[in-house]
Amino acid sequence: MNETDERDIRRTLATYTDLWVRHEMDEWGELFTEDSDFITHRGVWWTTRRENVRGHKDIPETVVAQKKHYTQEIVSVQAVAPDVALVHTAWTWPGHRVSTAEPPEDRRGLVTLVLVRQPTGRWLIRAAHNTRENGLADGKR
């Protein structure tokens, strides 16, 4: 993979994180191919861009308000084929609460993404698998 491809992929994922934090799900969805797969940290599998966006829009406003604390870091970018990249990211979401009745928890996880270069040169996400770490005290992955 050349430096330009890696830079473009990193830029795409920086946009992904920014749009996620701002909860701009329609724009966020444009970073995915129409036939993209997304597996959530709970194991829900969406098989189209539309399902993915709809599912990510359907969260409580209390959770949306907490997104400002979410961060994501690229751990690795690897070429799999000339127009295919495998990317791993690590995310953190400190003080996350599903509801105000529950105590906050510091969440973290990993996302595995497959990106494909489009004929226009733009890199889009073809598949993503979000895995929440279980928080074992020993810190092993």
Q: Return the domain boundaries, the chain.
A: 3-132
Rounded distance between C-alpha atoms, residue 24 and residue 6, angstroms = 24
Question: pLDDT tens, position by position, for the chain (141 residues)?
Answer: 899 999 999 999 999 999 999 999 999 999 999 999 999 998 999 999 999 999 999 888 888 888 999 999 999 999 999 999 999 999 999 988 877 778 888 999 999 999 999 999 999 999 999 999 965 555 444
Specify the fold of 3-132: Nuclear Transport Factor 2; Chain: A, (3.10.450)
The pLDDT assigned to 140 comes to: 46
**pTM exceeds 0.95:** no
- B/e letters for 78-87, b = 16+ CB within 10 Å, e = fewer, are eeeeeeebeb
The pLDDT assigned to 135 comes to: 54
- Three-state DSSP at 99 gives coil
